[in-house]
Amino acid sequence: MKLLVVEDDDRLRRNISHILQKERYYVTQVKTAEEALDYVAIDDIDLLLVDWMLPAMSGVMLCQQLRQEHFQGAILMLTAKGEADDIVEALDVGADDYLTKPFQLEELLARVRALLRRTYKTVEQTITIEGITLYKDRRQFFNQQTPITLTKNEFLLLEFLFLHKGQIVSHDQIANHVWGYDYTVSINSVDALLKLVRKKIDTPSTPSRIKNIRGLGFTMRNS
């Protein structure tokens, strides 16, 4: 399941993301509603955790716009506002649930599990491209029957390309997925990581399984 945490408080955002990642969710974190809209436009998100008091565009406005654009995932609103009128406003614009700060992380996880059960979508658990298979539930890659040994960052990069099969992803999108939004990563660092992954999945005298689309980014070669 893919989760997006939208919270401008750096410490809280990192804490929430960390606890969700420990539960083996795929988690992306952003600071603003504008960033959230950009990310939802390019990826399938199952659940958004949205702070009400975001800069520029509020969490309520974000929720409203997402529903107007037919976003089908679940939305959990996180806020210090706890009056009945506030709860009604959040639910009326499309939030599925509401959690008042401060909250226990155990309660947050319980709400997340409940929302994902409610909106569960059947997804393919294996993805095979050019003889390489990703087993999503086991978080492991195989080349035919042979497991591929990857570092954490190598796995995250290859996983991102597999989850976006048929799409072109940019240097920035790869950097955000592998290192996170809080880190500034050079294009050279992304290219170096791509080179390491290619060495582990490609075979001599054949085109790389990771195709470079000049000026745009990268995609998995599919025959």
Q: What is the pLDDT of residues 143-198, one digit of tens each?
A: 988 999 999 899 989 988 998 888 888 998 898 888 876 667 889 999 999 999 99
> Phi-psi category of 114—alpha, beta or left, where left has phi over 0 and alpha has psi -120 to 50?
alpha
Closest CA to 99 of 50, 29, 63, 45: 50
Q: What is the pLDDT of residue 201?
A: 95
Say which CATH class 126-220 falls into: mainly alpha
| DSSP state string for 100-155 | ESS--HHHHHHHHHHHHHHT-----SEEEETTEEEETTTTEEEETTEEPP--HHHH
Closest CA relative to residue 30, chosen from 55, 5, 53, 52: 5
Q: Which pTM was predicted?
A: 0.57
The set of residues, in sequence order, having a beta carbon less than 8 Å from that of 109 and lying 6+ positions away, is 19, 20, 23
Determine which helix (DSSP H) or strand (DSSP E) holds 193, and give its type and residue range.
Answer: helix 187-201
Structure tokens at 58: 């509020």
Contacts of 1 (CB under 8 A, 6+ apart): 25, 26, 46, 47, 116
Give the SS3 label for residue 91. helix
Q: Measure CA of the first residue to CA of the last residue in the chain; give whole Å.
A: 28
- In the 8-state DSSP scheme, what is residue 73? S
Give pLDDT tens digits for 18-73.
999 888 888 999 999 999 999 898 888 999 999 998 988 999 999 999 988 888 88
pLDDT of residue 82: 63
- Looking at domain 2-118, its CATH superfamily turns out to be Response regulator (3.40.50.2300)
> Where does residue 178 fall: left (phi above 0), alpha (psi -120 to 50 degrees), or beta otherwise?
alpha
Q: How far is CA 215 from CA 49, 126, 168, 169, 218, in A?
A: 33, 30, 11, 11, 9
Q: Where are the domains of the chain?
A: 2-118, 126-220
From the centroid of its chain, how far is CA 199?
A: 26
